[in-house]
Structure formats: C-alpha cells, structure tokens
Amino acid sequence: MTQEHGREHREVEHEITVSAPAAAVYRLIAEVEHWPRIFPPTIHVERLEGGATEERIRIWATANGTAKSWTSRRTLDAGALRVGFRQEVSAPPVAAMGGTWIIEPLSDTECRVRLLHDYRAVDDDPASLRWIDEAVDGNSRSELAALKTNVEAAHAAEELTFSFEDTVQINGSAKDVYDFINEAGRWRERLPHVATVRLEELSPGLQTLEMDTRAKDGSTHTTKSYRVCLPVQKIAYKQVTLPALMTLHTGYWTFEENEDGVAASSQHTVVLNTANIARVLGAEATVDDAREYVRAALSTNSRATLGHARTYAESRS
C-alpha cells in the first residue's frame, strides 16, 4: 500500500499457472468477446472504440452478488503479452481502479498469468476499502481459477464450443421488435412456450430474467439469465442456470434496419457438457448428436420468439 497525495492507494497481485501456450492465453484476454466464456462474473462486454493497441470497452459483471457495469480503457501489447486496464468512471465505493494482465511463458505448453490491481475507495473510507479488498480478492481468485479451467478446457475441447444464428426479416420498426424482446416480463402472455416469467431491472438496461419454458414433450425447465439491453440495437445475455447438456450458454438479439424493415437475429454460443450426453440422449449418442439436439432446441425457441415479435411489430406499423 502506498500513500498518494495523502490518499490510501492499494496495490495487490494474484497469479496462477495455466497449462496452455502463453500466446493463446494472451489472445483470450485481449479479445473481449471471449470474456463471458472464460470469466464467470462477466455478463457481457462491448468494444466501444479503438485500434490494435488501445481501446475502450464497457463491461457488465457481477460483484459480491450484485451486477455492475463500467467503462475501461485498455492498452494491448501482443509482443510483451501484457494488457493494461483502467476504469474510466468507477462505480461507488470504488474511486479509481486499474491494473495489468501479464502472461509469462514457462514452456511451450505452460505459462504464468499475473493479475495486478491498484485502487482507491471513495473518500478513502476504511470500510469501503475493506469491501473493495474483498471484491478484488474474490473476483481475482475466481477470474484466475476460471481462466485456468476454461482456457485449459478450450484447448482440450475446441470442438465442444460452437455458435449459430437465426435471422427473421420483419416488415416493421426496429424499436417495436426491440421492445418485444426487451419487455420479457410480458412473455407469458405473448409466447406460448413460456409458462412463467420473473423479470427484474437491476439498473437501467441491466436485467435478471427467470422463466419456466415448456418443451415439445410438455416438460418445463427453469432458466435464469442476466441481460444487457442496448436500445435499440442489441440485447445480450448470459444464462446462469444451465440445462444438463451445456456448460455455457451466451447469446444476443440484434435488430438491424434495412430497406424492407428490420433483420432481427438471435445468436447463441454454447459449450457442450459431454459428461451428461449419455444420460440425456442415450448411451449411443455422440458429441455431434448433442450439438444437433442443443442447436435444434435453442433455434426452435429463438425462431418462435422472433415469429411472435414479427407479428407484434408488423401489427403496429
């Protein structure tokens, strides 16, 4: 800890050893679209601006059981395998927060990842500083443990991660389609496959969505997601209660206006849970069978939702 202009300025470091090449680990940290996949607290990241060596990003993540968002500036140094970050405006009780990721090769297949943080509390409040200490320590440990687990798993099982997209052309306005997806609290009355729904707006544009959906065989399953709503272009989400065949499910809805109205899309990224394939689909089932099953189930719900959104939007235009 140092005294900076009479203020308490904390500096901490965490590290972990990862069984993956340093360059591959750097790429996962540098390319922010991977973050919801490798960091459990991260819900969504948007790249706001930037080039090859500097960028601004906005991050939505959970901390100590609540969800927050902030904007950071980052410096990317692929040669040195370093990524520096600094929050532009921190969320209370944090007054300032920054740090560096440093990836150090140990061999061709192993590296050390060091995560440095420096921060201050609002009004240098000791209780707030203790809260930040706990949040940084807890998040750093979980981030590094998740980084290790998920980077190693990604290396071992690239074929288990896949993405796909469904698009519907709608003769209506992007705002009406966006509203239909944004107003998930009304899905029980608007979508036949939704049995119950609980929507909570934690702060403007940040939602938790819990719902029970009906499968074709009549069974229902409960899902919970965090959603980030960016009017009227995108709604991104991360599912935090997962069906048996998935270890990860993230996605986003996008609404692109064109001369015929709006192209509404639903994108999914999934990591399959191979441990449950036999139990769910039978002893003979393969990874390909599981991929097709999951894709069909998610696409069916997405296309149904987009179909009802089209009916809604076209009836209003």
Whether residue 180 sits in one domain with residue 108: no
The residue out of 156, 187, 219 marking a domain boundary is 156
Mean residue pLDDT of the chain comes to 92
Q: pTM for the complete prediction? A: 0.85
Task: Answer yes or no: is pLDDT of 111 > 60.
Answer: yes
The residue out of 126, 156, 186 marking a domain boundary is 156
CATH code for position 93: 3.30.530.20
**What tens digit of pLDDT does each residue of 257-283 get?**
999 999 999 999 999 999 999 999 999
The residue type of 14 is H
Whether residue 85 sits in one domain with residue 19: yes
The residue out of 114, 129, 156 marking a domain boundary is 156
Q: Which of 3-17, 137-151, 162-176 has the lowest mean pLDDT?
A: 3-17
pLDDT in the model for residue 219: 85
Can you give the residue range of the structural domain that contains 297? 159-316
Whether residue 167 sits in one domain with residue 152: no
Q: Which of 35-49, 147-161, 264-278 has the lowest mean pLDDT?
A: 147-161
Whether residue 186 sits in one domain with residue 115: no
pLDDT in the model for residue 108: 96
Say how far apart CA 68 and CA 165 lie, in whole Å: 28
**What total number of domains does the chain contain?**
2
Whether residue 290 sits in one domain with residue 141: no
Task: Answer yes or no: is pLDDT of 112 > 60.
Answer: yes
The mean pLDDT value for 108-136 works out to: 95
How many CB atoms lie under 10 A from the CB of residue 288? 9
Whether residue 280 sits in one domain with residue 147: no
**What tens digit of pLDDT does each residue of 1-21 get?**
444 444 678 999 999 999 999
Task: Answer yes or no: is pLDDT of 117 > 50.
Answer: yes
**What tens digit of pLDDT does each residue of 199-211 get?**
999 888 999 999 9
